[in-house]
Amino acid sequence: MQKVDVRTTVEIVGILSIVASLIFVGIQLKQDQLIALGNQYQTRAEISLDNYRATLESDVLLSATAKMNIGDSESLTSEERVAYNTRLTMDFITLDNNLHQYNLGLSDETYWESARERIKNRLRDDYTLAHYRRLVGNSPGPVSQFILQLVEEIEAEP
């Protein structure tokens, strides 16, 4: 009778140990996910700061950005066009990365909706839209489909 009690006790302790281990693993996975999201946010912030810094450090890009901010793409010099197009291409690549992270569930809905609206507003500019159309033509994939969807939404607006 005592052997059964000892055996039962050992089995219960073993089961509790397994449950405790699974709980620990779950907590560890949640912490790892939070760390990954924090790193992702920090990386996005660093990229944004690098973009602003690059604009401020380049007279050509600063001039191009200033002209584009007031809708004056016609007066861009060829050097400014190259600089601004390079910036737009970098933004396209960043958008591709952000879309991929969102599709994996690594970005929250609030951040994604904000990014989506920023891109949509940029696509209202004819110059940016033309450049993104060229990029979409050369880069098939999810980001291209996303951009085309935004363009359709813009064109459907009154």
Q: Which residue type sits at 14?
A: G
DSSP 12-69: HHHHHHHHHHHHHHHHHHHHHHHHHHHHHHHHHHHHHHHHHHHHHH-HHHHHHHHHHH
pTM: 0.68
Query: pLDDT (tens digit, 9 = 90+) per residue, 85-120?
Result: 999 988 888 888 888 888 888 788 888 888 888 888
Distance in angstroms (rounded) separating the CA atoms of residues 86 and 80: 10
- Which structural domain range is residue 2 located in? 1-57
Based on the domain organization, do 78 and 144 belong to the same domain?
yes
Based on the domain organization, do 51 and 75 belong to the same domain?
no
Domain end among 9, 37, 57: 57
Query: pLDDT (tens digit, 9 = 90+) per residue, 134-148?
Result: 888 877 778 888 888
Based on the domain organization, do 6 and 37 belong to the same domain?
yes
Based on the domain organization, do 82 and 127 belong to the same domain?
yes
Based on the domain organization, do 20 and 65 belong to the same domain?
no
Structural domain total, the chain: 2
Based on the domain organization, do 82 and 149 belong to the same domain?
yes
pLDDT in the model for residue 4: 64
